Amino acid sequence: MLKVENLKLGYDNVPVIFDVSLEVHEKEVVSIVGSNGAGKSTILRGLSGVIKPMAGTITFMGETINHVPAHRLVEMGMAHVPEGRQLFGKLSVRENLMLGAYVLKDEKTKKDCLEQVYDLFPRLKEREDQAAETFSGGEQQMLAIARGL
Ligand X SMILES: Nc1ncnc2c1ncn2[C@@H]1O[C@H](COP(=O)(O)OP(=O)(O)O)[C@@H](O)[C@H]1O
Q: Contact between 9 and ligand X (CB under 6 A)?
A: no
Q: Contact between 38 and ligand X (CB under 6 A)?
A: yes
Instruction: List, as one string, the DSSP characters of the chain.
Output: -EEEEEEEEEETTEEEEEEEEEEE-TT--------TTSSHHHHHHHHTTSS--SEEEEEETTEE-TT--HHHHHHHT-----TT----TTSBHHHHHHHHTTT---HHHHHHHHHHHHHH-HHHHHTTTSBGGGS-HHHHHHHHHHHH-
How far apart (Å, rounded) are the C-alpha atoms in residues 76 and 63?
Answer: 10
In the list Mg ion, ligand X, none, the entry touching 36 (Cβ below 5 to 8 angstroms by class) is ligand X
Instruction: With contacts defined by CB under 6 A, name the span among 21-29, 36-44, 127-135, 137-145 that binds ligand X.
Output: 36-44
For ligand X, the closer of residues 39 and 53 by Cβ is 39
Q: Contact between 41 and ligand X (CB under 6 A)?
A: yes
Q: Contact between 34 and ligand X (CB under 6 A)?
A: yes
Q: Which residues make up the interface to Mg ion (CB under 5 A)? A: 40-41
Q: Which residue is nearest to Mg ion (CB)?
A: 41
For ligand X (CB under 6 A), the number of binding residues is: 10
How far apart (Å, rounded) are the C-alpha atoms in residues 88 and 131?
Answer: 9
For ligand X, the closer of residues 58 and 124 by Cβ is 58
What 3-state DSSP class applies to 55?
A: strand
Q: Contact between 11 and ligand X (CB under 6 A)?
A: yes
Instruction: With contacts defined by CB under 6 A, name the span among 34-42, 66-74, 126-134, 135-143 that binds ligand X.
Output: 34-42
For ligand X, the closer of residues 9 and 142 by Cβ is 9
